[in-house]
Amino acid sequence: RGINLFVASEVPPGTGLGSSSAAAVTMVRAISTLVEQPMTKQQVAELASYIEIGKMGMPIGKQDQYASAFGGLNKITFTSDGVTVEQVRIDPEVRKTLERRLMLFFTGSSRESTSILKHQRKSTQDRDES
C-alpha cells in the first residue's frame, strides 16, 4: 500500500531556516502515525536525519531535525556519545516579551550551503583522522 504526500511551503529553498528538515520531521511523524508505530522525539529526529543525510546525501548536521522534532527553546548538545536535549526554562514574562518582539524577515536572498557544508565536514574528518 502506498501513500501520496504533498508538501507546500511559502519558504523558498536556501533560506537557512531548516525547512527541509522540518518537512522531513513532519513526514516521519505522519508516516509513524499512519502505520500506528509511535516514535519518541529523539527517534523522529534521528530517522529524519538519516533520511536527509544517509539517504539523500545532504551534507548537513542534525541540529535542524532535532530543533523541529522537539520544538520550543532547547539546549541541544551533540557529542560522540550521542545527543542530549534539555528544555531551557525562562520566566513566563520574558517569554511573552520575546514572542511579541522577535521578528523574522525574508531578505529576498538565498544561499547554497552545500559546498560550505561539504568543506566543513571534510575538514572535521581530516582533523579527526590526524
Q: Is the dihedral of CA 105, 119, 27, 78 positive or negative?
A: negative
Q: Is 64 a catalytic residue?
A: yes
Measured CA to CA, the distance from residue 35 to residue 50 in angstroms comes to 19
Rounded to a whole number, what is the distance in angstroms from the first to the last CA of the chain? 49
Residues known to be catalytic: 64
